[in-house]
Amino acid sequence: MVGAVGFEPTTSWSRTKRATKLRYAPPTRVRQRCARRRAIANSFGRKDLRPPLRRTPFAVLATGGALRENGFMNAVVDATLPDAHGRFGVYGGRYVPETLMHPLQQLEEEYARAEQDPEFQRELTYYLRQFCGRPTPLYLAERLTRELGGPKIYLKREDLLHTGAHKINNAMGQILLARRMGKTRVIAETGAGQHGVAAATVAAMFGLKCVVYMGEVDCRRQELNVYRMKMLGAEVVSVTAGQKTLKEAVNEAMRDWVTNVRHTHYILGTAYGAHPYPMMVRNFQRIIGDEARRQILEQEERLPDLLVACVGGGSNAIGLFYPFLQDASVRMLGIEAGGEGIIPERHAARFQGGSLGVLQGARSYILQDEQGQIQLTHSVSAGLDYAAVGPEHAWLRDQHRVEYSYATDEQALAAFGALARLEGIIPALESAHAIAAVMERAPKMPRDQVIIVNLSGRGDKDVAQVAARMKL
């Protein structure tokens, strides 16, 4: 099935445009429901049913055009997307088999109700604080700052959350939704294993069955997290198809969901996939940026000059960036996996070698050949080793609101060691890509500026792999 979630697409962009018109035509009832929800929201003076972005009096808000500073384009963008069809401009949407259209619509409607339900929000806030460990600190990395000789560098310590990464924010939100919908079983995909551990954790906490799909290659290089998931009671399915990494794990999870959709909820782990997942995951992760904004104003009495985060599917990055999108003074930098360099099939930097296409439910930038076949990817980091990027990131890049670059394996490994030696913090290899970018750029920036880096996860899972590569 061309362009469907869980199946390999064979479409180039020219064919994707035609497929869009043929495959995505929401039923009249769905359009009517969307119109009714908008009418209800407007009657209360709201433009939509999502929480409005908070604006800051400390920023100079542009009403049009863009502000260029140090190579960044700081355009202020409309942050009310996605639209009613789940699109961020030409990106996003819902490209799935007919079997999944109804459950996705149900999920969208239930999420809209939950978002407006004070009891759901109270419960989510309680578990994020009491079980997950929020708020996480915003830590001034003094020795790293001195070593680089540039601006102050703050680390948003998502690595200190229960399970060791930001993934628990989204997993907790989705397990509460699954309970509201009466589901008794959850499934998840995972690359680095952190999302799998988070899904297994919340499933154990609430007594739901859990199955996690993980590529065979990733099972080997993230063996510690495989053990953790099994100890938490989850079934871990090693996927042996294709490249045996994250893309294939998503394929298998989607096949499972199609078969068991009546009693199963898919806890998708990143800001990708069919609508409403990119929007829903972003909103569950925006607590990262909301906290960082409040904390930096308390500590520095000003907004940061630069936000930096690694980008695989992009959930930790959009979680940090989203609350700052309308602050023109704040620049943002997303770092992809440069692997062994921008050589076909030896990296996972979608904005460096990708093109527009459809993969696993959404339209975005994808690493594919001229025939639309998905290319092999590579990264030392299992969590960034993926052929597509979240649709909102693709849109933000087009709007010149966020700059996207990459770090190679060697740069990430060097940053991994540097942060451990200088700050006593062992980062996940995913987060080390963001640290590598800061190590490259900070020495060129004025000392009176401020950087916030999202330290999205801790590196316990990567120690054996790094030790082997560095021959420790």
State pLDDT tens for residues 78-105: 778 999 999 999 999 999 999 999 999 9
8 A C-beta contact, residue 275 and residue 111: no
d(CA 309, CA 404): 10
Secondary structure of residue 163 in the 3-state scheme = coil
- What's residue 13's pLDDT? 36
Q: How confident is the model at residue 73 (pLDDT cuts 50, 70, 90)?
A: low
Q: How confident is the model at residue 348 (pLDDT cuts 50, 70, 90)?
A: very high
Per-residue model confidence as pLDDT tens digits over 171-202: 999 999 999 999 999 999 999 999 999 999 99
DSSP 170-223: HHHHHHHHHHHTT--EEEEEESSSHHHHHHHHHHHHHT-EEEEEEEHHHHHHTH
8 A C-beta contact, residue 380 and residue 409: yes
Active site (annotated) includes residue 471: no
- What's residue 23's pLDDT? 36
pTM given for the model = 0.85
- What's residue 24's pLDDT? 38
Secondary structure of residue 83 in the 3-state scheme = coil
8 A C-beta contact, residue 342 and residue 362: no
Q: Which residue has the tokens 């963008």?
A: 77
Q: Which fold has domain 1-165+273-472?
A: Rossmann fold (3.40.50)
Which comes out higher in pLDDT, residue 46 or 374?
A: 374
- What's residue 78's pLDDT? 72
Question: Comparing 37-41, 169-173, 207-211, 415-419, which segment has the lowest mean pLDDT?
Answer: 37-41
The mean pLDDT value for 283-304 works out to 98
The mean pLDDT value for 401-405 works out to 98
Q: Which of 189, 248, 403, 423 is catalytic?
A: 189
The yes-or-no verdict on residue 426 having pLDDT over 70 is yes
d(CA 457, CA 432): 9
Active site (annotated) includes residue 315: no
Highest mean pLDDT among 51-55, 70-74, 271-275: 271-275
Q: Which of 152, 156, 167, 244 is catalytic?
A: 167
- What's residue 284's pLDDT? 98
The yes-or-no verdict on residue 42 having pLDDT over 60 is no
The mean pLDDT value for 112-133 works out to 98
The mean pLDDT value for 280-307 works out to 98
The enclosing H or E element of 398 equals helix 391-398
Active site (annotated) includes residue 189: yes
The yes-or-no verdict on residue 396 having pLDDT over 90 is yes
The yes-or-no verdict on residue 55 having pLDDT over 70 is no
The yes-or-no verdict on residue 39 having pLDDT over 50 is no
d(CA 266, CA 249): 12
The yes-or-no verdict on residue 312 having pLDDT over 70 is yes
The mean pLDDT value for 252-270 works out to 97
Q: How confident is the model at residue 256 (pLDDT cuts 50, 70, 90)?
A: very high
The mean pLDDT value for 59-69 works out to 32
The mean pLDDT value for 367-392 works out to 96
- What's residue 470's pLDDT? 87
Q: Which of 315, 329, 381, 456 is catalytic?
A: 456
